[in-house]
Amino acid sequence: MSLYLSTLFALLTLEMAILFLVVLPLPFRVRRNFYSLYYRWTSNRKVQTTIYIFAGLVSILFVDSWRRAQFKVHLHHYQRQGEDVDDNSAVTPTQALASRAYNQRNTYISGFILYFLVCIPAVFTIIRRLIKYQNLINNLEGKPVKDTTPDTQPTAPSKKGSASIVDDREIDHLKHDLEKKEVNLKAVQKQVKNLESYFDQQNDQKNPNTAATAGGKKDL
């Protein structure tokens, strides 16, 4: 077994072990500590760069192995009516069959590695939501909340002591309504200013003496 294949197999085993531990019905404290460790590791720039490099190399290996495994295999001599078949191409050599089997094996291993690279962050996203909601429940019940990451920090409860878990879509909808109301308020303010200036002009035209007197007082 070559070095790169051993590395791929070790990486696949590690991903399977992580995913197996994540989906287990672990206690809340263990799951919270496990997610805290994952958050610290994935927040590091060096670890992120290493993961991206490995993902790129595995993707290249997957594409290359898949292309190398796509060739026809002839295992028996055959001849159709009115068709001549070359004896040299009738049977695929054993070395070519072995090469195809190796490429198929590399395709499966690299494909599962890429698949688990997508599954693990998705599962940890679900765990993050579970931890966040559990911390919120503990906070409402008056229980201490410890070892929370920034994305699992519960929101502060209301003055009445009751809080509801608001969906992100509802928050976006409320923000959109608030922006609309702000735009409408600016439009109304602009209309009020225009009306005030119009009434002032009309008043000045009707009472020119008053406007002149006011102007003289301003000059003094």
Give the separation between CA 158 and CA 144, rounded to whole angstroms. 17
CB atoms within 10 A of CB 102: 15
Q: Tell me the pLDDT tens digit for each residue of 152-174.
A: 665 554 444 444 444 556 676 77
- Structural domain for 112, as ranges: 3-76+87-165
Domain boundary among 143, 165, 187: 165
Q: In sequence order, what E strands does the chain have?
A: none
Domain boundary among 124, 140, 165: 165
Return mean pLDDT, the chain.
75
Give the separation between CA 179 and CA 185, rounded to whole angstroms. 10
pTM for this predicted structure = 0.55
Q: Rounded mean pLDDT of 41-62?
A: 87
Tokens of residue 58, six digits: 């595995």
Query: Is 112 part of a structural domain of the chain?
Result: yes
Query: Computed from CA positions of residues 29, 30, 31, 37, in that sequence, does the dihedral angle turn out positive or negative?
Result: positive
Query: Is 170 part of a structural domain of the chain?
Result: no
Give the separation between CA 19 and CA 37, rounded to whole angstroms. 14
Same domain flag for 105 and 212: no
Give the separation between CA 53 and CA 46, rounded to whole angstroms. 11
Give the separation between CA 195 and CA 138, rounded to whole angstroms. 55
Is the pLDDT assigned to residue 61 strictly greater than 50? Answer: yes
Identify the H or E element spanning 218.
Answer: helix 208-219
Q: Rounded mean pLDDT of 177-199?
A: 86
Q: Tell me the pLDDT tens digit for each residue of 88-139.
A: 555 567 777 777 788 888 888 888 999 999 998 898 888 888 888 887 887 7
Tokens of residue 171, six digits: 């928050």
Query: Is 120 part of a structural domain of the chain?
Result: yes
Alpha helix stretches (DSSP H) within 43-92: 45-68
- CA 119, 123, 129: angle at the middle one, nearest 5? 150
Same domain flag for 161 and 189: no
Q: Tell me the pLDDT tens digit for each residue of 20-29.
A: 988 888 888 8
User: How many structural domains are present in the chain?
Assistant: 2
Is the pLDDT assigned to residue 84 strictly greater than 60? Answer: no
> To which residue do tokens 């070892």 refer?
147
Angle between helices 45-68 and 28-42 (to 10 degrees): 80
Same domain flag for 197 and 103: no
Question: DSSP label at 158?
Answer: P
Same domain flag for 182 and 131: no
Same domain flag for 92 and 35: yes
Same domain flag for 160 and 186: no
- Cα 159 vs. chain centroid, distance in angstroms? 34
Same domain flag for 52 and 144: yes
